Structure 1
Amino acid sequence: MENYLQILIYLAGFIIIAVASNQISRFFLRARLPLITGFLVMGIIAGPYVLDLIPLEAIADLDFVNDIALAFIAFIVGAELYLRELRSRFRSIIAMTFAQLSITFILGSLALFLIAEYIPFMQKMNMESKIAVSLLAGTIFVALSPASTIAVIHEIRAKGPFTQTAIGVTMLTDFLVIILLTINITIGETLISGTSINLISIILLLFDLLIAFIIGYALSKILGFIIFLQTGTIVKALLILLAGYGIFSLSHFIREWSFLYLNLKIYIEPMIICIIGSFIITNYSKHRIEFLKILHDSRTAVYVIFFTLIGASISLGVLSTVWAIALALFVIRLAALVIAGFVGGSLGGDPARFNRIAWMPYVTQAGVSLGLTAAVAGEFAGWGTEFATVMIAVIVLNQLVGPPLFKWSINYAGEGHVRAITPELGIMHSALIFGLESQSLALARQLQEHNWNVKIVTLKSDIGDWKTSGINIHQISSLSMESMEELDASKAETIVTMLSDKENYQICEQAFENFGTKDIIVRLHDRKNFDRFHELGALIVEPSTAIVSLLDHFVRSPHATSLLLGMEENQDTIMLEVRNPNLHGMALRNLRMPHDIIVLSVTRGGQMIISHGYTRLRKNDIVTLVGSSESLENVRLRFEE
């Protein structure tokens, strides 16, 4: 009882430290360092080797926190393996994954074995133990960082074949590396114990993997049931974490039970089980969207706890003696990645300019690498902590150097889409508003807030105080074609007419016949002219009925109306054209979009389709979406060619 009470005290104290770590680590962003680095540093400072806020004995008692976090990280890896998004670059992804996995593993393992005499904890090991440690280190060298990869891609709005390959390779490699670790842990234990690898060992390993797949399928059903429950997101997140921890506990129990009663070590890798369960939910379940939302909303809290605890467990005494070794291993890993990148790119048929930079997306290591390191440290109690310290030193170097290299490589490949401070005309949306009055000025200001390039056009010879409005106002003498050409009307995406019906019709007719303007919006004065404008494909706003309809919607559906009108904070509504060929034929329910995005309509060939989850998109479809500004920007990038 006293032991459980002590664990609760340690846990409460650690949670307080983790909250502080989350806040203080944000200062690392100002230095353009990843948050994960901040969590690690805060863990080191709070750990037993600096301030001793987290005692050494507390780290051992909080080992279950590692299991919970590792399960969650495995869920994230499985969720990123979304097959529909990887199909177009499948050959390149497979070739690059094979090269990275094999070459990096072989060269990394060989390098560590050759410098074993310079690593303190390996100096007194026998040959078999050195081979075991080298295999485990080579495995960790292969591991990548899905979280860091996605963060860089989102930051610079990257999109294209090079980026797609990087995502696919990162996710697939991290899935395979966990299987590789399972195999090498079994081999390592066999080598260290002095027993030989026989047919029974191989059969047992295959049996372990088979059982892992079966339990993973069962876990997917459990996760689906949790998501189906009519309860809050926080409760579902806690139940998912509990399910992940249950898998780790089950794995430990099976291992101990099999050794005690069968004299065999049946080791079912819990991270593989969690990845398989998450993979099935993501690709073959109707619960995908909500599952991804729960992972997205919960990941920061889990990362803070996990990486802060990892930082606290780093032995600074050992770290000070292995920095030279860590730097050497870092350089060796870079060399292996360069070779693997060129080989993988050549096998995948990628352009030569991609092959020169093909290694850069795979330098970064973080969550999965640290998770595997923690798993090895837990399996081999004797030298596990010292091994983890060396590996963490290498991982920290990779985490510092990797993201800038990946960012540079994306820009070199021409797939970065960073928003310019002042976009050039033609890149940003543009609108011409005919008519100078209070309503047109208000509309212009609102469009400018959404980064539109707006011109107000007036026939008035004297605009008086309107000059100081801060809006681009153009005076013209007539609505002739010459005047329209001077206004660059052919480049306008939208034309809004707020003059008399006669003048409005003249503008609409010119735009219809000469410019093919995408959207023409007319403020109608006389209902009798409705059909004339409608024949030109104009969108018609009749003020007398528009206000009544708007009030009616506010009365019957106030929240929905506020959302559609963009009155909710940070919410907007946009129309996007499907230009990405990879989305052609994909059902709406299979689109991987942020959880706060709602599809309002799909327009095809000028006809609006009553859309549902099974509606399949076609290239050049117009999709109307509502959601947060950030999420809409992410979807915009996905729809672009």
Structure 2
Amino acid sequence: MLFSISVLLLLGMSLGALCKKLHLPALTGMLITGIFLGPYALDLIDTSILSVSADLRRIALIIILIRAGLSLNLEDLKKVGRPAILMCFVPACFEMAGMILLAPKLLGVSLLDAAILGSVIAAVSPAVIVPNMVKLMEEGYGTKKGIPQLILAGASVDDVFVIVVFTAFTSLAAGDSVSIRSFINIPISIFLGMMAGLGIGLLLSVFFHRIHMRDTAKVILFLCISFLLVTLEDYCANVIPFASLIAVMTIGVALQQKNQALSLRLSSKFNKLWVGAEIILFVLVGATVDLRYLKSAGGTAVLLLLFVLLFRMSGVFLCLAGTDLTKKERLFCMIAYTPKATVQAAIGGIPLALGLSCGNLVLTVAVVSILLTAPLGAFCIENSYQKLLTH
């Protein structure tokens, strides 16, 4: 296990740095590291690490969402208004509609299989988007009009919406009934997550004000509370809908509103944690990629993905209609809302595990979407924001 961890970190860090030198996103090198070290290639990652891979990826995601919450200014988000709400579900709906229209013709699948495929592909990746948007906020690009805040908030809620829709479609394919309650649970889970995060954030700000402790101890306490919230969501899944990751981010927002100086110090601490968490996250995402499925995909899957991304970008364009954003700023939002990675890695194999006829195809397209959009999306964001956004 120690050998696997050292190789994983050293090679991930080295290839990430090499990609940066070549003006490519560092995550490209980390994904490649995971693919070649993973069980479908050299098989150098210990099985004990792979068995807890989902939990490790979740921990990394929690770290970056805390960092995002500590950097997110609510006043800037309020200025955006209506588009912030629309971005949570409209682009995903457009992308699913595009998949339902095109997949039966290009891949010869049924409408229900196309709907399942669309619900897997429609989620954007917070792991790619969040660190890039935090970077923009720190550098002051697009913040006056709340562009990074808009994308950040939308991407966080987008995943909750898409996963609920995916669960509904897979239940239909498995022969189970789908209740209206599952769709009503979407806004309820988001609302309860926000309320829980806000309440805990306010309590933490009072606690930190009255009880003196080192910032490192505050970081540990923050992480422990976040882990407990995520665990609570798992236990209460069938009783009370609760979006724990939104709660985690809202805690950071509440702390930032009450004590900006403290949030800056904590954000600095989480930035350091993210250095290692980023490598673990993307290397383990790469390790889920089974290269054998890529042979069966061919150019058709790539073509299909490019088309449905155009549908998604059209959805983003519609969300921004009537705003004061310039053409360049709207173009940036459309580009920034395309990367996929973590959700596809997490749910791409579920239809296959359920024994659905579309399982292999869904996993194949999910793999292609990660390899195509994660590096390409990150590359486009990193190389366009200075040209398209106002500093």
Give yes or no for TM over 0.5: yes
Deviation sequence 1:321-348 (CA, Å, 0-9, x none):
3352442244224423553454444411
**1:146 aligned onto 2:130:** yes
**Aligned counterparts, 1:37-56, within 5 A:** 37-55=28-46
Aligned equivalents of 1:78 and 1:106: distance in 2? Answer: 26
The 1:362–1:16 alpha-carbon spacing in structure 2 relative to 1, beyond 3 Å, is farther
> Hey, what does 1:168 align to over in structure 2?
149
Looking at structure 2, the residues matched to 127 and 334 of structure 1 have their Cα atoms a distance apart, in angstroms, of 19
The structure-2 alpha-carbon separation of the partners of 1:340 and 1:107, relative to structure 1 and needing over 3 Å to count, comes to: closer
Whether the 8 Å contact between 1:217 and 1:277 is mirrored in structure 2 is yes
The amino acid across from 1:147 in the alignment is P
Q: CA deviation at 1:68?
A: 1.4
Paired residues of 2:89 and 2:161 also in contact (CA < 8 A): no
Q: Secondary structure at the match of 1:358?
A: helix
SS at match of 1:145: helix
User: Which one of the candidate residues 347, 354, 372 is aligned to 2:343?
Assistant: 372
SS at match of 1:246: helix
User: Residues 182 and 269 of structure 1 are in contact (CA less than 8 Å); yes or no, is this contact kept in structure 2?
Assistant: no
1:348 aligns with 2:320: no
Whether 2:108 is the aligned partner of 1:107: answer: no
Q: Which amino acid aligns with 1:372?
A: V
TM score, norm. by length of structure 2: 0.79
Q: Is the 8 A contact 1:160 1:415 kept in 2?
A: yes
1:62 to 29, 53, 64: 53
TM-superposed deviation, 1:375: 4.0
1:248 alignment partner in structure 2: 230
| Within-5 A mapping of 1:564-579 | none
AA in 2 matched with 1:52: D
Q: Match of 2:330, as an amino acid?
A: A
Q: Is 1:401 matched up with 2:388? A: no
What's the secondary structure of 1:25's corresponding residue?
Answer: helix
Equivalent in the alignment of 2:7: 17
The answer for the alignment partner of 1:360 in structure 2 is 332
Per the alignment, residue 391 of structure 1 pairs with: 366
Give CA-to-partner distance per residue, 1:344-395, whole Å, 9 cap, x none: 4441143xxx32662334424698x433234434866437797455334324
When residues 291 and 75 of structure 1 are mapped into structure 2, their CA distance, relative to the original with a 3 A threshold, is: same
Q: Distance in 1 between matches of 2:166 and 2:389?
A: 41
Amino acid at match of 1:281: L
* 2:95–2:122 Cα contact (<8 Å) kept: yes
Deviations 1:602-630 (A, max 9, x none): xxxxxxxxxxxxxxxxxxxxxxxxxxxxx
Within the candidate set 57, 67, 80, 1:90 is matched to: 80
State the distance in 2 between where 1:415 and 1:127 align: 43
Query: What CA distance in whole angstroms lies between the structure 1 residues aligned with 2:316 and 2:162?
Result: 22
The equivalences for 1:89-238 within 5 A come to 89-90=79-80, 94-95=82-83, 97=84, 100-101=87-88, 103-117=90-104, 123=109, 127-128=111-112, 130-140=114-124, 145-151=129-135, 159=141, 164-202=145-183, 207-217=188-198, 219-220=200-201, 224=205, 230=212, 232-238=214-220
Distance 1:320 1:55 in 2: 26
Distance 1:336 1:355, change over 3 A: farther
C-alpha deviation, 1:241, in angstroms: 3.2
The offset of 1:253, in angstroms, is 2.5
Q: Cα distance 1:191–1:337, how it changes in 2: closer, same or farther (>3 A)?
A: closer
Provide the rounded CA distance (Å) in 1 between the counterparts of 2:178 and 2:159: 20
CA change 1:203–1:181 in 2 (3 A) is closer
Please report how far the alpha carbon of residue 174 of structure 1 lies from its aligned counterpart in structure 2 after TM superposition. 1.4
Bigger share in strand: 1
Cα-Cα RMSD: 3.8
Does the aligned pair in 1 maintain the 2:328–2:389 contact within 8 Å? no
Larger fraction in helix: 2
The residue number in structure 1 matching 2:244 is: 270
Q: Does 1:307 align with 2:292?
A: no
Amino acid at match of 2:27: I
Distance 1:336 1:144 in 2: 20
Residue 282 of structure 1 is aligned with which of 225, 232, 256?
Answer: 256
Between the aligned partners of 1:80 and 1:306, the Cα distance in structure 2 is: 21
Is the deviation greater in 19-28 or in 281-290?
281-290
Q: Deviations over 1:442-498 (max 9, x none)?
A: xxxxxxxxxxxxxxxxxxxxxxxxxxxxxxxxxxxxxxxxxxxxxxxxxxxxxxxxx
Q: Which runs of 5+ in 2 are unaligned?
A: none
Higher relative contact order (CA 8 A, sep 6+): 2
Distance 1:172 1:314, change over 3 A: same
Post-superposition CA distance 1:544-595 (Å, at most 9, x none): xxxxxxxxxxxxxxxxxxxxxxxxxxxxxxxxxxxxxxxxxxxxxxxxxxxx
| Pair 337,80 (structure 1): closer, same or farther in 2 beyond 3 Å | farther
* Partner Cα separation in structure 1 for residue 379 and residue 124 of structure 2: 21
Q: What CA deviation, in whole Å up to 9, does each residue of 1:3-23 have, x standing for no partner? A: xxxxxxx4x344212321223
Cα distance in 1, alignment partners of residues 112 and 307 from structure 2: 23
Match 1:76 to one of 46, 51, 67: 67
> Are the structure 2 counterparts of residues 221 and 346 from structure 1 closer, same or farther at C-alpha, using a change threshold of 3 Å?
closer
Cα shift at 1:313: 1.5
Letter in 2 for 1:360: F
Report the TM-score when normalising by structure 1.
0.51
For 2:121, the aligned partner's letter is A
Cα contact 1:25–1:35 (8 A) shared by 2: yes
Asked whether the equivalents of residues 76 and 295 of structure 1 are also in contact (C-alpha less than 8 Å), the reply is: yes
The residue correspondences of 1:406-425 to structure 2 (distance < 5 A) are 406=381, 409-410=384-385, 412-413=387-388, 415=390
Q: 1:222 deviation in Å? A: 7.1
Shift of 1:40: 1.0
CA contact (8 A) 2:120 2:348 kept: no
CA contact (8 A) 1:105 1:141 kept: no
- CA distance change for structure 1 residues 185 and 341 in 2, over 3 Å: closer, same or farther? closer
> Cα 1:206–1:304, aligned 2, differ >3 Å: closer, same or farther?
same
Structure 1 residues 319 and 241, CA, compared in 2 at 3 Å: closer, same or farther? farther
Give the match's secondary structure for 1:139: coil
Asked if the contact 2:297–2:365 (Cα under 8 Å) also holds between the matched residues in 1, the reply is yes
Which structure 1 residue ranges, 5 or more long, are not aligned? Answer: 1-9, 256-263, 417-641
Across the two proteins, how many residue pairs are aligned to each other? 384
Range 281-290 or range 377-386, more displaced: 377-386
CA contact (8 A) 1:170 1:362 kept: no
